[in-house]
Chains A and B, each alone.
Chain A
Amino acid sequence: MMVSHVQLSHYLVVAALLFAIGAFGALTRRNAVAVLMGVELMLNAANLNFVAFWRYVDPTRLEGQIFVLIIITVAAAEAAVGLALVLNIYRNFGTVEVDRVNTLKG
């Protein structure tokens, strides 16, 4: 049986990178659709952590997998609502660039 050289820390590093890339995208992209995509990346980084911890800490418990399924479902709903918001922003402001949607400026 081939011994796997892939450790928990590898998964965590990948997840951290995913989260950082997603956060960077969500914070810096001007396009609202790209911001949403950044958020999706951050959610998936969390999913990866759940699965990795499930696999390496205690495979007999199912909470990690269940959380991932729930998050995927919520993320799908979030994407639907988010895109609907973007569509309405475009209709009202004629743009999807988030820095130009600033009517709540104090």
Chain B
Amino acid sequence: MPAIWIIPALPLAAFLIICALFLRPARARFAPLVLIVALVAALALSLAAAAGRWHDPTHAAIEQRVTWLAIAPAVATGAGGLTLEVGALLDPLSAIMLVVVSLVSLLIQIYSIGYMHGDRGYGRYFAFMSLFSFSMLGLVIASNFLELYVFWELVGLCSYLLIGYYYQTTSAANAAKKAFIVTRFGDVGFLIGIIALSYAGGTFNFIELRHVVEGNQLVPFFFGQSAFVTVVALLIFSGAVGKSAQFPLHVWLPDAMEGPTPVSALIHAATMVAAGVYLVARAFFVFQASGAALVVVACIGAFTAFLAATIAVVQSDIKRVLAYSTISQLGYMMLALGAGSVAAGIFHLTTHACFKALLFLCAGSVIHAAGTNDMWEMGGLGRTMKWTAATAAVGALALAGIWPLSGFYSKDAVLATVATSPGLEAALGVGGRDLLLGAGLVVVLLTAFYMTRMWAVTFSGPARDAKRKHAHESPWVMLFPLVVLAALAATGGLLNHAATGMAFNRFLGAHEAHAAHAAWVVWASLGLALLGIASSWAIYGGGRNRVAGIASPGALAVYHFVQHKWWMDDFYHGLVARGVLAASRIFAWVDRHVVNGFVDGAGWLTGVAGRWLRQAETGQLQLYALVLLAAAAVIGFALAYLGVSLAVVP
């Protein structure tokens, strides 16, 4: 087995080459070529690595690691030693992620050649994209928690840099800051969780920690064994909540749409935001050791899926519809993981990466042509942009979960997992489990509704704006990735189809055959998806808006509530942002009056003392001599009085 680290090293090399040679606009046209060559090689190696794992009958994990830093334990006590390692872990989970990341990244870079054409920061864009590809691939193959955390923060940095790519606009700069700060809330917990777990387990390494946790050999330093594991699992999950934009830290992702659209497709739909899901899957042994943490994951996932789906229904910015849709689908993945199935969660992650990247790229294509993000200003683009409209329809139907597209299979895997989850039933009872399942089914309806709405308003009917009547189709370099992704989105279900013997599940070592036990869920979700499409088409079909005809006061109140994103942004702004500002005003006052007072006081005291003492300096020579003499006399008399003799007796 050759070195696995070469896969992430390829885009890193591309990053360095672009930074060294192709940053300037005059030569930036070579930048994408460098990155694409690197990603083609990375994709080939990833496929080879995945194939190697697939053909290995046991799908055993391969680990390659080196010691990065070794701190010897204290000589006296033998305690406090620490060995930090970097390594690469290749198991079925990371093999799948490697292929997904390098494939989607490659297609999006090809698309970017056309989308970013003529942009002033062309070289910078591809440099950041290379750095991101490196970080994401590194995150996927990290073999211990500390290494994963380093890459975790690196992808966060790349996300920040690329959201703020158009840094000249205030909104983009603010969105970048918001993404960075909001995810930081989760990352603090994540880091604490890593440290606590590794301290109790004696290692950072995933495989070793897994043995420790499964063997009940953790040495908790607070609470008991089970409570400790639950706390650690929830701390790790808080990192996933931030990165994967789950409630209550989901607010950054819609704003992140300020970045260029291919960035949204790659980072904020297909890969980085899925890192949280990957993290939970990677640390699944911790969650499994604590049933309570899994239930929390499932509940957060289900609630987030519902919350985001409702908001997506009322958005008019095409990218924001997709952003909320992404949050909602990430909620699905969390729900599947919480229900106890890594295979279902990762399967949905894989299909979602394809069809959501596809939808974002289609959105980019129409934004490129129409010059606006607002769907209501578009309309009728299907006439001139046939390829984009067709591929977007494939993506939308896949996302809605229509047979036989990939979303149908992965969504049913998620719902069937929930419907038959013994863990959820044990913790929440049949009623609680069915509540989560019901939320999942309602989200199916909402998803089909908002995707149909998006497609109908953008592509169907007559052109609403005369200026955009002549919007032209995008160049082939942008259409090619659309077609490839559409093909993948359409056929991705085969990965985990009875025809292929549930290959995906078997690869990930899942033994479940849930689909057989929950046949009614398949029909229910398909029926709800068709209902959503039909009702949405009835309202928005042909690009018209018949909402006014069915509006009632109650519906308006709900609309108002959802339109304001459940008031969550306002809540955060009011509570967190204002709270921070109020606290900083107090600190500023203390600094200005107390701390500064001490400093000023020291200077003032010196000045006053100086003004007082300088009066002793009269400039009169004879006064000095008198003081000298008097002092000598006083000292002499004092010594004599005390009986001290200065005489040196020989």
Contacts and interface: CB of A to CB of B under 8 A. Distances in A.
B629 A23 contact: yes
Nearest to A58: B650
B616 A26 contact: no
A105 B619 contact: yes
Interface stretch (A2-10, A44-52, A69-77, A94-102): A94-102
B622 interface: yes
A35 B622 contact: yes
B616 A102 contact: no
A103 interface: yes
A56 to B, nearest CB: 15
B618 A27 contact: no
B625 interface: yes
B621 interface: yes
Interface in A63-105: 98-99, 101-105
B614 interface: yes
B166 to A, nearest CB: 64
B622 A106 contact: no
Chain B contact residues: helix, strand, loop or mixed:
helix
Q: Which of B613, B620, B626 has the most CB of A within 10 A?
A: B620
A98 B620 CA distance: 7
B622 A103 contact: no
Interface string B623-647: 0011001000000000000000000
B615 interface: yes
Q: Which of A99, A101, A104, A106 has the most CB of B within 10 A?
A: A106
A1 B625 CA distance: 47
The range of chain A's interface size is 10 to 19
Contact of B617 (A23, A28, A35, A106): A106
Contacts of A27: 622, 625-626, 629
Contact of A98 (B617, B621, B626): B621
B634 to A, nearest CB: 15
Interface in A26-68: 26-28, 35, 61
A99 B629 contact: no
A106 B611 CA distance: 9
A99 B617 contact: no
Contact of A26 (B615, B619, B620, B622): B622
Contacts of B625: 26-27
Contacts of B626: 27
Interface string A12-32: 000000000001001110000
Contact of A99 (B613, B616, B622): B622
A75 B618 CA distance: 28
A57 B629 CA distance: 28
Contact of B622 (A28, A61, A104, A105): A28
B618 A102 contact: yes
Contacts of A104: 617, 619
A101 B618 contact: no
B621 A106 contact: no
A106 B629 contact: no
A102 B621 CA distance: 8
Contacts of B615: 106
A104 B629 CA distance: 20
Given A23-B629, A27-B629, A102 B620 contact: yes
A99 B614 CA distance: 18
Given A99-B620, A99-B622, A103-B619, 10 more contacts: A23-B629, A26-B625, A27-B629, A35-B622, A61-B650, A98-B620, A99-B621, A101-B619, A101-B621, A106-B618
21 contacts: A27-B625, A27-B626, A28-B622, A35-B621, A35-B622, A98-B621, A99-B620, A99-B621, A99-B622, A101-B621, A102-B618, A102-B619, A102-B620, A105-B617, A105-B618, A105-B620, A106-B613, A106-B614, A106-B615, A106-B618, A106-B619
